[in-house]
Amino acid sequence: MVRAIVGANWGDEGKGKITDMFAEQSDIVIRFQGGANAGHTIINNYGKFALHQLPSGVCFDHTTNIIGNGVAIDIPRLMKEIESVKAGGVPEVNILVSERCQIMMPYHVLFDTYEEERLAKNAFGSTKSGIAPFYSDKYAKIGFQICELFDEEYLKDKLTRVLEVKNLILENIYHKPTLDVEEVFATLIEYREMIKPYVCNTTKLVREAIKEGKTILLEGQLGSLKDPDHGIYPMVTSSSTLAGYGAVGAGIPPYEIKDICVVSKAYSSAVGAGEFVSEIFGDEAQEMRLHGGDAGEFGATTGRPRRMGWFDCVATRYGIEAQGATQVVLTALDCLSYLDEIKVCVAYDINGEITKDFPVTPVLKHCKPVLVTMPGWKCNIRGITEFDKLPKEAQDYVNFIEKEIGAKITYVSNGPKREEIIKR
Ligand code: GDP
Ligand code: MG
């Protein structure tokens, strides 16, 4: 059985915790898109881990963790991450990497940084992990798959051709130092030696696992609204964040994905630039930020403060539909316990016209949130494991959202720890 765990919104919905929870009963966990630019937080008996590239099943010794072909693999950062997970006390790190996975080249981070520098105030708010240059090169067919590192003659020849154009850009557009073929080649050989023990034909392995009836989890990064096609283009990420892409990025037949578990947070947060209709600002935002997540809403990779907002039913329903949700998990309900009143965005006002349909980006810019106010519950709800035991206001809040988003909320998470969860 293949289950995808993906985000409904702008990312950081708490997918890490939910993947970790489901990973316990899974044989294989696969990352199928994105790269080292996002962070998933999991808290378990070994402690707290901010994972960037490693799949969230990495703390279990019975799960095989796969970095699929759709991922942008940053080899040195992956090595560091493996070391830090081991240093955190995890005895066995079972990780495999697809031989078709493409490599974050040493110059991709440079190009990301230079381009954001050039754009200055129009920058995308990139994490400067090299993701956009990486995927541009992948689709321009000047990227490098891991398997290409094993034929040195071919590799040097291709690298020479690719660096020719890279150097033209570095010199003439960014006015920066150029790249040396021998140096980059040597770095790639180092990368190859580092990654070698983990590389295999993961597609074959996964297909066999499906035949044997194994339980497989696909772990998404970011959320629907950051999808390059269906999100808030151009303020999106560079690889598809949708469960459907899991078939491509993990090498699985689309019809095998039986369960699409979409994660959404009880309030909104976003990083980077881009449309965010229900956003709040100033002290109100700071208060929500400090109450959010397990230690405030600050980026797991970058540490930067996340933008905050009320739960957005319009964006979330759209995000859930884009994923094709079979179930929804609502996380971080406990983070709202401090509020006397909770606002929820139920529609958008486009110059006087009210809509519940999430519009395209140029229209989104003109949307104002239509908010309803609900009473808060003002008490600690962490660790409650039965829905009926929640204060009535909290139950009403969840039921209200469920109705607005039009999908079944099967779990409510009310704390960052694994056991802080309500199954409905
Ligand atoms: P991801 O990128 O979707 O995996 O989410 P992140 O891990 O980046 O951000 C979610 C944050 O919320 C992390 O700090 C989690 O530890 C935390 N978190 C997840 N679920 C809950 C919850 O139910 N309650 C609280 N208080 N924090 C949660
Ligand atoms: Mg995150």
Q: Mean per-residue pLDDT for 266-270?
A: 97
Q: Look at residue 300 and tell me whether its pLDDT is greater than 80.
A: no
Check whether 383 has a pLDDT greater than 90: no
The domain locations on the chain are 2-88+203-423, 102-197
The average pLDDT across 313-333 equals 98
Q: Which CATH architecture has domain 2-88+203-423?
A: Alpha-Beta Complex (3.90)
What mean pLDDT value characterizes the chain? 96
Average pLDDT over every residue of 384-409: 98
Residue 415 beta carbon below 6 angstroms from any ligand 1 atom: yes
Query: pLDDT tens digits for 236-260?
Result: 999 999 999 999 999 999 999 999 9
For the Cβ of 69 lying below 6 angstroms from any atom of ligand 1, the answer is no
41 lines ligand 1 (CB under 6 A): yes
H/E element, 369: strand 367-375
Mean pLDDT of 163-179: 97
The two three-digit tokens of residue 398, written as one number: 């969840």
* Ligand 1 site-directed mutation target among 291, 331, 421, most atoms within 8 Å of CB: 331
pLDDT number for residue 324: 98
Which atom from ligand 1 is nearest to the alpha carbon of 420?
23
Q: Which two tokens stand for residue 18?
A: 């939910």
Ligand nearest to the CA of 56: 1
Provide the pLDDT for residue 63: 95
Q: Per-residue confidence at 53, pLDDT binned at 50, 70, 90?
A: very high
CA 174 to centroid of ligand 2, rounded, Å:
31
Does 274 score more than 90 pLDDT? yes
What integer pLDDT is reported at residue 122 of this predicted model? 86
| Burial profile 190-206: b = 16 or more Cβ within 10 angstroms, e = fewer | ebbeebeebbeebbebb
Nearest ligand 1 atom to alpha carbon 41: 7
Residues 70-92, mean pLDDT to the nearest whole number: 95
Residues with a known catalytic role: 12, 40
Asked whether 293 lines ligand 1 (CB < 6 A), one says yes
* Topology given in CATH for the domain delimited by 102-197: Adenylosuccinate Synthetase, subunit A; domain 2 (1.10.300)
Check if 220 has its Cβ closer than 6 Å to any atom of ligand 1.
Answer: no
Most ligand 1 atoms within 8 A of CB, residue of 49, 294, 306 to mutate: 294
The string of pLDDT tens digits covering residues 184-218 is 999 999 999 999 999 999 999 999 999 999 999 99
Report the separation in Å between the CA atom of 290 and the middle of ligand 1, taken as the mean of its atom positions.
Answer: 13
332 lines ligand 1 (CB under 6 A): yes
Cβ-based burial of 39 (10 A; exposed 0-12, middle 13-18, buried ≥19): buried
Q: What is the mean pLDDT of residues 1-17?
A: 96
Q: Which ligand is nearest to the CA of 335?
A: 1
> DSSP alpha helices (H): ranges in 259-360?
282-291, 313-323
411: phi then psi, degrees, rounded to nearest 5:
-135, 145
* pLDDT for position 41: 85
Place 39 in a pLDDT band, splitting at 50, 70 and 90.
Answer: confident
Ligand 1, residues 12, 17, 51, 418: which to mutate, most atoms within 8 A of Cβ?
17
Compute and round to an integer the Cα radius of gyration of the chain: 22
Residue 332 near residue 267 (C-beta atoms within 8 A): yes
Tell me if 97 sits within 8 A of 74, measured CB to CB. no
Answer whether 335 contacts ligand 1 (Cβ < 6 A): yes
User: 222-260 burial, b for 16+ CB within 10 Å, e for fewer?
Assistant: bbbbbbbebbbeebbbbbbbbbbbbbbbbbbeeeebebb
CA 103 to mean position of chain CA atoms: 18
Cα 67–Cα 243–Cα 34 angle in degrees, nearest 5: 40
- For 8-77, strand residue ranges (E) read 28-31, 40-44, 47-51, 64-67, 72-73
Full-model pTM: 0.95
Q: Which amino acid is at 140?
A: A
Q: 94 pLDDT exceeds 90?
A: yes
> Closest ligand 1 atom, CA of 48?
16
| pLDDT tens for each residue of 149-170 | 999 999 999 999 999 999 999 9
Alpha-carbon distances, residue 107 vs 168, 208, 277, 341 (angstroms): 13, 36, 35, 49
Give me ligand 2 centre to Cα 158, in Å. 35
Q: When comparing pLDDT for 325 and 20, which is higher?
A: 325
Instruction: Find tokens 């892409």 and name the residue.
Output: 245
Tell me how far the alpha carbon of residue 295 lies from the centroid of ligand 1, in angstroms.
Answer: 9
Ligand nearest to the CA of 266: 1
Per-residue pLDDT for 301 more than 80? no
Cβ–ligand 1 contact at 271 (below 6 Å): no
